[in-house]
Amino acid sequence: MNELNKQRELLSLVWKFHQILNTAWPKPSVPQMAGSSVFIGTNLFKTLENGLSQIKDALISCEGTKKEMLPFWNSFSDLFFKIGMQNRFEKSVRIDEALNLLYLASGILYHRIREITSASPQLHAHLSDVEDVGKLLQACGWTSDKTTIKEIENELIVEMKASVEKLS
């Protein structure tokens, strides 16, 4: 498989992960969406876990993105697995915040890969793309003075590491 096809596959996998995570994502400021910990240990969560493995394999095979994206990826997967270790019966603001951060990070990961590669995902016409960065930041309640995807990516690494600590 050539590099462009590998990048397309990577984007497709990140897109799928982001879309599946949307089901469990606790939308900020929507009290009815709190308590996302109920998804931990379910088939949905296992599907995300399987997707994580596929994304890692695809990322490692993409020479053009691997070096830059691995620090972000390591923080991302650390946060995912820390969330998976939490009590699914505990209605926790920390877990909701961590899942919100993971949703934001999966969207930023998608946009950053698109930014640094020439790839576009091959999505069916009836499927929606990952929301644009401005809408993604707003939907996740993310306020920052950072203006580029790369700056947001770096900021998210710090936030994901802090979230892992909070969940410990």
Check residues 1 and 20 and name the one with the higher pLDDT: 20
Structure token pair of residue 147: 């203006």
Alpha helices (H) in 62-127, listed in sequence order: 63-84, 93-116
Q: Does residue 62 carry a pLDDT above 70? A: yes
Express each pLDDT in 32-45 by its tens digit. 667 888 899 999 99
74 residue type, one letter: N
pLDDT digits (tens, 9 = 90+) for 113-157: 988 887 776 665 545 678 888 888 988 999 889 889 999 999 999
What are the backbone angles phi and psi of residue 77, rounded to the nearest 5°? -70, -35
The overall average pLDDT reported for the chain is 89
The single-letter code of the amino acid at 114 is R
